[in-house]
Amino acid sequence: MPIPNTLAELEADIARDLELVAHPRAPWLEAKQCEGQPVLDVLIIGAGQGAMALAFALRRDKVRNILCIDRAEYGQEGPWVTYARMPTLRSWKDQTGPDLYIPALTYQAWHEAQWGAADFTALRWIPKENWNDYLLWFRRVAGIPVRNGVEAGAIEPARTDDGLPCLRVPTSIGPLLARKVVLATGQEGIGHWWMPEFLQRLPASLRAHSADAIDFAALRGRRVAVLGAGASAFDNAAVALEAGAAEVHLFCRRAEPMIIQPYRWLTFAGFLRHLHEMPDDWRWRFMSYVLGLREGFPADTYARVNRFPNFHLHVGRPWTGAREAAGAAVVETPRGDFAADFLIAGTGTRMDAHAVPALAHCAGNIALWQDRFTPPAAEENERLGRYPYLSPEGAFLERSPGETPWISDIHLFGIGASMSFGPSGASINAMSIAAPRAAAGITKGLFSADLPRLYAELRAYALPQVELDAARLVTN
Ligand SMILES: Cc1cc2nc3c(=O)[nH]c(=O)nc-3n(C[C@H](O)[C@H](O)[C@H](O)COP(=O)(O)OP(=O)(O)OC[C@H]3O[C@@H](n4cnc5c(N)ncnc54)[C@H](O)[C@@H]3O)c2cc1C
């Protein structure tokens, strides 16, 4: 088949493809109101790649009264052009993503339509800016409605005018109402970026988290120390070196840094599709091992720092404390103090629903893994016990049943779902399988709440398929 030579040609193919696979075509949801205000079927908080995949899956199921909101401005959603400090994605270029298996919607199709098939073949990794542009294009051609610059506040229960449960979400553009709300809020989605308290206590001029906006130019000629040996820690070290830092010292707690990427191992259909259906002890065993290893850094990332003679990797040297001394930061380690002009914590995130404004009215009643499952002593992990224990539909469950029953209409699609569902459906390797599954969790709730109406519609359904020939009917 000839490859489209332009995006316009590709978009024509997409329109045809989507029409060819539009079955089942019938709309099935009814517009609702709450005190005179329209109610969305689904409000997705976040408009990163996870939200795009999920919104597309919902649209294909004819759930079209949806909206994504994102506090970021247009084009700034997700990590790609803000705090992701690597030149390319870490996912392989041939993984399908939000396209949900529609060939013309894949990254490869988008790339080839602009730069040709040979260019895609020659590409090693997808430049992150290209990925960002692709996501924006995807959102347009897939018809996903997004409002940027809109922040979500504390979700609370409400009712539609005909008595169905719905949720009210205060936002910077006024309250939004929806029957289902999805948190697709990314890495810090149901918690916060985390660094040890002793770093937090230092003045901000001496330390930052790897996800913060950092003025790397100001680090020229300075001594920088980075805590953590995950991919983002290395990326930040690399940018500091490239910006002309005098020395960059990266400190790894382990005797040997993690160079295995378990997400590569688990990227197969059985795991991605079925882990969530397995007993808790197996879910815990697999995911605590995977998340316990943390993110191994890729070869290109290592090469990027290693070409600098002023890069130093300290292994088996955790930080146990820190203080300010004579305008510098001094970190304490089992092998003695270390002084630097600036510290960067590549220490990831921590699950903590209390830190999420959208969950202010229910954070204390969200069931966590630690509430539902006690791992064997050898597999204990306090950090992972704080992940939410989600329903099979991907929604929050109550710790104390009956206190906040409305949280069953708040779904989570992102890294916080990892302990319950395996690799976050919002990462590229998992989304082709995870997004339709998450959409099905949402449609199940909508369908179930609509049963009385749908049954009444079935009983009222009176569209004849044929006109009977009265003359041929035998009535005696
Ligand atoms: C440095 C780095 C590199 C990575 N590389 C890869 C990779 O190569 N491949 C891969 O699959 N994954 C990678 N990841 C993981 C990556 O973050 C996720 O896969 C992807 O961004 C997740 O998509 P998401 O939609 O869940 O979250 P995000 O893309 O982070 O999007 C979440 C959105 O929610 C918005 N938001 C948050 N809170 C609110 C609120 N209260 N109101 C309104 N909007 C809100 C944010 O502004 C953001 O735009 C990387 C992560 C990092 C940090």
For the segment 164-185, what is each residue's pLDDT rounded down to a tens digit? Answer: 999 999 999 999 999 999 999 9
Minimum-distance ligand 1 atom for the alpha carbon of 235: 1
Minimum-distance ligand 1 atom for the alpha carbon of 95: 11
Report how far ligand 1's centroid is from the alpha carbon of 78 (Å).
4
Tell me which architecture the domain covering 7-191+351-455 has in CATH: 3-Layer(bba) Sandwich (3.50)
pLDDT above 90 (res 426): no
Report how far ligand 1's centroid is from the alpha carbon of 98 (Å).
14
**90 in contact with ligand 1, CB cutoff 6 A:** yes
What's the half-sphere exposure (Cβ side, CA atoms, 13 Å) at 6? 3
Structural domain boundaries in the chain: 7-191+351-455, 195-258+294-347
The set of residues, in sequence order, having a beta carbon less than 8 Å from that of 308 and lying 6+ positions away, is 241, 248
**187 in contact with ligand 1, CB cutoff 6 A:** yes
Report how far ligand 1's centroid is from the alpha carbon of 427 (Å).
8
Q: How far apart are CA 247 and CA 342, in angstroms?
A: 11
pLDDT above 80 (res 424): no
**78 in contact with ligand 1, CB cutoff 6 A:** yes
Report how far ligand 1's centroid is from the alpha carbon of 46 (Å).
9
Minimum-distance ligand 1 atom for the alpha carbon of 128: 8
Q: How far apart are CA 123 and CA 14, in angstroms?
A: 24
What CATH number is given for 195-258+294-347 in this structure?
3.50.50.60
Asked whether the whole model's pTM tops 0.85, one would answer yes
Read off the pLDDT band of 258 (50, 70, 90).
Answer: confident
Residue closest via CA to ligand 1's atom 18 equals 427
Burial 124-140 (b: 16+ CB within 10 A, else e): ebbebebbbbbbebbbe
Q: How far apart are CA 280 and CA 372, in angstroms?
A: 9
φ and ψ at 197, to 5 degrees?
Answer: -60, -35
Minimum-distance ligand 1 atom for the alpha carbon of 97: 11
> CA 402 from chain center: how many Å?
29
- The pLDDT mean for the chain works out to 96
One fold for 7-191+351-455 and 195-258+294-347:
yes
Residue closest via CA to ligand 1's atom 29 equals 78
Structure tokens at 162: 């005909």
| 344-402 per-position pLDDT tens digit | 999 999 999 999 999 999 999 999 999 999 999 999 999 999 999 999 999 999 999 99
Q: How far apart are CA 127 and CA 313, in angstroms?
A: 27
Report how far ligand 1's centroid is from the alpha carbon of 128 (Å).
13
Q: Determine contact, residues 410/181, Cβ cutoff 8 Å.
A: yes
Given the DSSP bridges, would you call strands 156-159 and 165-169 parallel, antiparallel or unpaired? antiparallel
| 39-65 per-position pLDDT tens digit | 999 999 999 999 999 999 999 999 999
Residue 75 has a pLDDT of 98
Q: Specify the residue for token string 């919902």.
A: 58
**84 in contact with ligand 1, CB cutoff 6 A:** yes
Q: How far apart are CA 339 and CA 143, in angstroms?
A: 52
Positions of E strands within 191-290 = 191-193, 207-209, 223-227, 247-251
